Protein backbone atom coordinates (compact mmCIF):
# COMPACT_ATOMS: atom_id res chain seq x y z
CA UNK A 1 0.00 0.00 0.00
CA UNK A 2 1.37 3.39 -0.96
CA UNK A 3 1.62 6.10 1.61
CA UNK A 4 -0.32 9.25 0.93
CA UNK A 5 2.87 11.29 0.44
CA UNK A 6 4.39 8.84 -2.01
CA UNK A 7 1.80 9.50 -4.70
CA UNK A 8 3.00 13.06 -5.22
CA UNK A 9 6.68 12.18 -5.70
CA UNK A 10 6.37 9.24 -8.09
CA UNK A 11 6.79 11.41 -11.19
CA UNK A 12 9.65 13.52 -9.86
CA UNK A 13 12.42 11.15 -11.01
CA UNK A 14 10.98 11.13 -14.52
CA UNK A 15 10.75 14.91 -14.51
CA UNK A 16 14.40 15.24 -13.47
CA UNK A 17 15.48 12.71 -16.12
CA UNK A 18 13.58 14.66 -18.79
CA UNK A 19 15.17 17.92 -17.65
CA UNK A 20 18.64 16.34 -17.88
CA UNK A 21 17.81 15.04 -21.36
CA UNK A 22 16.64 18.45 -22.56
CA UNK A 23 19.68 20.21 -21.08
CA UNK A 24 22.37 17.78 -22.28
CA UNK A 25 20.83 15.68 -25.04
CA UNK A 26 21.79 12.52 -23.15
CA UNK A 27 19.04 10.09 -22.16
CA UNK A 28 19.94 8.31 -18.91
CA UNK A 29 17.56 5.43 -18.25
CA UNK A 30 18.85 4.14 -14.92
CA UNK A 31 18.87 5.88 -11.58
CA UNK A 32 20.63 7.56 -9.86
CA UNK A 33 21.61 10.04 -12.55
CA UNK A 34 25.26 10.82 -11.85
CA UNK A 35 27.73 13.08 -13.57
CA UNK A 36 30.00 10.20 -14.65
CA UNK A 37 27.11 8.61 -16.55
CA UNK A 38 26.50 11.87 -18.39
CA UNK A 39 30.14 12.57 -19.17
CA UNK A 40 30.74 9.20 -20.85
CA UNK A 41 27.95 9.94 -23.37
CA UNK A 42 28.78 13.57 -24.11
CA UNK A 43 30.86 14.24 -27.24
CA UNK A 44 34.47 15.18 -26.58
CA UNK A 45 35.41 18.78 -27.30
Q: Report pLDDT for 22.
A: 95
Q: Report pLDDT for 21.
A: 94
Q: Report pLDDT for 2.
A: 60
Query: What are the domain boundaries of the chain?
Result: 6-39
pTM: 0.69
Q: Which of 43, 19, 44, 12 is nearest to 28 (CA)?
A: 19
Which residue of the set 3, 4, 5, 6 is catalytic?
A: 6
Cα angle, residue 20 at apex, residues 30 and 8 outer, rounded to 5°: 75
Is residue 6 flagged as an active site residue? yes
Q: Report pLDDT for 23.
A: 93
Q: Report pLDDT for 5.
A: 67
Q: List pLDDT tens digits, range 1-45.
A: 566 766 677 778 889 999 999 999 989 888 889 998 888 888 876
Cα angle, residue 25 at apex, residues 21 and 30 outer, rounded to 5°: 45
Amino acid sequence: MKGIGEIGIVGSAAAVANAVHHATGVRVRDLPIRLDKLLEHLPAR
